[in-house]
Each structure stands twice: as structure tokens, then as C-alpha cells.
Chain A
Amino acid sequence: MKEVAMSQNYRGPAILVIDDEERIRTGCQKVLRQEGFEVETADSGEAGLKMIEEKSYDIILLDLMMPSLSGFDVLSRVKALHPDSVIIVISGYATVEYSIEAMKKGAFDFIPKPFMPDQLRVLVTKAIEYTRALKDIANEKSRMRVLIDHLSDGVLAVDAQKSVVLANPAFLKMSGFSGEDAVGRGLEELSAGSVVDALVDSALAMPEDQFEESSEEFVRGGEEGVPQSYLSASCVPFRDRAGRNVGAITVLHDITARKKMEQIKSDFVSMVSHEVRSPLNSVLAQLHVITDGLAGEVTPKQMEILGRASEKIKSLLSLSTELLDLARIESGLMSVEKERVNPVEILEDLAAFHEPAAREKSIGLELAPLPELPSLVVNRRNLEEVLSNLIVNAIKYTPEGGRVVVSASLEDKFLKFEVGDTGIGISPEDQERVFAPFYRIKNEKTRYIIGTGLGLAIVKSIVEAHGGFVRLQSLPDQGSTFSLHFPLPES
């Protein structure tokens, strides 16, 4: 395949004229050489065949009626030897039957004797365009084939009846197919799994006005010595010119390594967090015992130092809590017991809960008038946590005398919570990064604000784990508005 695709040196088209009439041979040669073609001639079917056996020509001009070996015989031999050669029949009789007969046997076109040089030029030019298109298609097909066969991702194409049109080696390996040729078989014979099957079904059923890639992760193997692997499958329909689904393409990507890394990371974080938390908890209790005077009298200066030490330890503890939360969310271990919750109730509770902290900073914390809102099916603790996080942030990053407004509304198929503030705002370049773990904006305005840089990463992970998304609008020195979009439950 490679040589076809890669090493074909381009040369001008080679033409062979086979005719027993010398006048025709020289005439054709003259006309076509003027066009810059390489032209050779043969005066009989036998001589022509000999040349064809030694070399392939792009175009053969072939007289049908010759003594001894007829044009029809030459035609079938050429088709056998060089199926890509284009044959134009020269017919002295110019009868329709002969010409049709020749075209049935694979001739490209015919030209009746006598013909004008222009007629010949037009016909040969047309034939050359045709051969070029054929070659381009063949090259393109071959290039695509090599490309797809060498992808490390599995690629599967099925038609509308779910028969396999194409399945590259990576796909067959991932799906565990060990049979001979997969093409033409039903999808179920490939045992690609119910996930792939369902994705293909939904892609094939996708309405014309919609084009979406659906994807899902799943596990394969894990039994009888087959190593377990994690795969992600994504599937899209492909359509004809009229927009009808005529098949579906599925791509399988092996994500085993990533999943294993995530698990290791999550185990590591849990272990470290726990091992770190226990001694910190003890140290805090020990400091408390000392500052209580239970271990002897403490001077005011010592008291002050121990107080600061306690604060440091508390912030380390909250960092480890957040790390642990993030690791759990990322590994999908977070408890996702969902229940029906009333968003209005939660917002009212939260606004009341955070009001004293806001008042302490002379910030007005307001709950905007809420429209009629349906209930959500979410993890209540998670929802409270993400909203609290945004409210606490808004209070933290808003100077005294500012305002924080909490609101909720319906948007598309989502319930949108918004927390807006009149705070220091976030520059456009930081807006993309604030949701990344450990990212904290460091400038003169935030220097004295304590935080771990994990809060928004946790918010984003939780919202996304609920099938929602997070948005941020902000202008430096004017304020920020974070919005959380939770999908509405299907009624």
C-alpha cells in the first residue's frame, strides 16, 4: 500500500495508438504530441499487445476492426493486464452496436472515423481528467486506509443496518474480536460491548437537525486472565447529501493508564490527608491544654504565640480537608446520594447563615426576589457546599461597603444560581485559571486573603459531577458574577 500512496513519480500521460491504418497512426501521433503527450504506435493487435505487456499506458486508442487480432481481443487483454488503462475505441464502421459492445467490455468512449483533430483532443483530454480522478481517489483511499490502520485509537464504521464497514486493528484488539474479516459482519458479532451498541443506536437515531457526539466510558475484561481496561467510546452519525443517517463512526480510546493514575493519586491524597490530619488534631488539642493552663502557668506572650500556632494548624487542617474532598470528587468516590431539594429553601438558609459575616464587613448580602423554581435532584450537602463557597468568596473579595447578591432563575433546561459581588474582580487572563486546583490570584489586593486555591476547583468538580457547568463573568475593580447551572430533573 505504501508504494502506491507515496512513491508514484508524476509523469505526463503515456498514450498508445493501435491501428492498422498508417494515416490514422501518424495523424493521432502528430495531434497528440502537439499537446505534449508521450505517444507511441502499433500497427497491429499483436504488436500493440506486446507493447502493453511491457509497459502500462494511461490511454490506448484502439481500432476495433483490424486483421488477425481484433480490437475486442486486445480490449479484454488490456483490461486484464492494466485495469486502470483508459481505452478509447476507434471505429471505422461507427455503428452504435459495436461501440456499445466495446464500452460494455470496459472501453471508456469511442471516436468514429473519420475524425477531426479537435474531436480527438477533446476526447483525450476528457479521458486524462478521468484517469487523474481515478488515481486521486485510489491514492486517497489508500492513504486513509494506512492512516486509520495505524491509529492507536480504535475506529469503527457501521452502516445504517449496523453492519461493519470498517474496523481498524486497534478497534478489533480493544473489542477482543479474534475472527477473520470483520467487514460485513453485524456489530453484535464484534462483541464490542453494550455501551458501543447503545451509542451506535443513538447516533443512528439522531434527528437530522441535530449533530452531537455522544460518549461514554466503560470497563472491559477483568475476567479469565484478560487484563481489565478502561475505554472511552465516542460516536457520531455520518450522513448522505440529503442529511439522512447512513451509518455511524465510533472511536475507542484506551484510558486505562489515566484511570490508574487517577486512582493512585486519589489513594495517595487520601492517605496523606489522613496521616496529616491525625497529628494536627492532636497538636491542636495539646495547644489547647497548654493555653488552658492545665500544663502550668502561661505568660501572655506565650499565649499569643500559641494562639497564632493554633490558627496555622487550623488552616493546615482545612487545606487537608479540601484536598481530600477534591480527591474524592475526582475519583468519583464522593457520595452522590441525590435527593429532591427545594432551591429556594436552601438559598434562604444560606443567605441567613452568611449574613452575620457579611454584616461584620459592612457588606450587604441580598437574596434577589426569586421566581417560581422547580425542585432539583442533587446531593444536598454538595449543593450547600458549592453555594456557600461562592458566597464566602464573594464576601472575602469584596471591600467593605460593597454588595453581594444571590439569585436563581431558569435558563434552558438548567436552574441557574448566581452569586454576584461588587468586589475586586478577576482579570480576563485569570478567569480561565481560577477553576484550576491550587490556583490563586496573587496581587497586592489579595495578599492578605487566606485560601488554599482549591475552593473553586471543588465547586467546578461538584457541579460537573451533577451534569451541570460553571460560568464566570468579571470585570477588574467592578465585581464578579459566578453562575452554577444545574440540570433540571426530567419530569
Chain B
Amino acid sequence: MSDKPLILVVDDDPDLVESVAMKLESHDYRVAKAYDGIEAWDKIRAEKPRLVLLDVMMPRKDGYELCREIKEDPASKDIVVVLLTAVAENVKTSKYTHQDGKSTPADDYIAKPIDLDKLMQIVRDNLD
């Protein structure tokens, strides 16, 4: 078993998850996949990933909410959360402020459309 960190990729579009996973795996990361917020929460508790790539707009539970839960739970608060945001959603990068005004304490973000090379850079930066 590789000692490379486990990364959880969460997005409701399986094609996007697959592409991101392929890219990560090509850099020898281990990858877990989830397709909505609730499934992601289960995987986080079961598999304890080092980093979560988290889509913002998802059915059942959105990325902002899940991010808050991750950071509020002592068991998961050290997991690095990188949000995948659509530009049009106007997420202020410095604060990750949700529309309801509550801040979302994500560690970093990358805007869609995702440049996979930039994504790898962000992943590397946040795992060091």
C-alpha cells in the first residue's frame, strides 16, 4: 500500500470526478470518490482522507455546508478542504463567504473550469 496521501474527490458529475482522479493518480495520489455531500461525509469518516476536493453546488448537501461540518468536527478538522467553485457564483476567495453570510473555513479554492495542472499545484501546496 502506497504511503501517498488519500484525496477524496467530490462532485455530482462522475465524468469530472473521473478526470480529476486520473490526473491525481498519475501523480501517485490515492483517490476516493463521492458524488454528493452526504456520501462524501460518510467517506470522510470511513477513510480519513488528507485532502478533500469539494464541489460547491451539489444535491442533498452543498459544499459550503459540508465544509463547515468537516471543520467543526474535531475528528475531521485537520483535513484540508479545497473548494471547486464556478466563477459565476462569486465566491470571495479570501473569506469563502456563503450567501447566508456565514464564513466557510475552506483552506483553498479553485475556480471552474478547472485547470488540472493548476489543481495539482494547489494540492501539492496544501499537502506540504
Whether A281 and B113, one on each chain, are in contact in the complex, defined by CB atoms closer than 8 angstroms, is: yes
Whether B113 and A294, one on each chain, are in contact in the complex, defined by CB atoms closer than 8 angstroms, is: no
What is the interface of chain A mostly: helix, strand, loop, or mixed?
helix
Give which listed residue, A280, A294, A324, A335, contacts B26 with CB less than 8 A: A294
Residues of A within 8 A of B88 (CB): 273, 277, 321, 324-325
Whether A281 and B87, one on each chain, are in contact in the complex, defined by CB atoms closer than 8 angstroms, is: no
Binds A, one of B17-25, B42-50, B61-69, B71-79: B17-25
In the bound assembly, the distance between CA atoms of A277 and B55 in angstroms comes to 14
Whether A284 and B113, one on each chain, are in contact in the complex, defined by CB atoms closer than 8 angstroms, is: yes
Looking at chain B, what size class is its interface with the partner chain?
A: 20 to 34
Whether B114 and A281, one on each chain, are in contact in the complex, defined by CB atoms closer than 8 angstroms, is: yes
Whether B13 and A289, one on each chain, are in contact in the complex, defined by CB atoms closer than 8 angstroms, is: no
Q: Is A338 an interface residue (CB 8 A)?
A: no
What is the interface of chain B mostly: helix, strand, loop, or mixed?
helix
Please give me the residue from chain A that is nearest to B86 by CB atom.
A277
B106-128 near A? 1/0 per residue, CB < 8 Å: 00000011111000000000000
Give which listed residue, B13, B23, B86, B87, contacts A282 with CB less than 8 A: B13
Q: Is A278 an interface residue (CB 8 A)?
A: yes
Whether B20 and A285, one on each chain, are in contact in the complex, defined by CB atoms closer than 8 angstroms, is: yes
Question: How many residue pairs, one in A and one in B, have C-beta atoms under 8 Å apart?
Answer: 60
Residues of B within 8 A of A289 (CB): 19, 22-23, 116
In the bound assembly, the distance between CA atoms of A280 and B19 in angstroms comes to 13
Whether A281 and B23, one on each chain, are in contact in the complex, defined by CB atoms closer than 8 angstroms, is: no
Q: Is B103 an interface residue (CB 8 A)?
A: no
Residues of A within 8 A of B15 (CB): 279, 282-283, 285-286
Which 9 residue pairs spanning A and B have beta carbons closest together?
A285-B19, A282-B15, A282-B16, A289-B19, A284-B113, A288-B116, A324-B88, A281-B113, A281-B112
User: What are 15 A-B pairs at a CB distance below 8 A?
Assistant: A273-B88, A277-B88, A278-B13, A280-B113, A283-B15, A284-B113, A285-B16, A285-B116, A286-B15, A288-B116, A289-B22, A294-B23, A314-B113, A321-B88, A325-B88
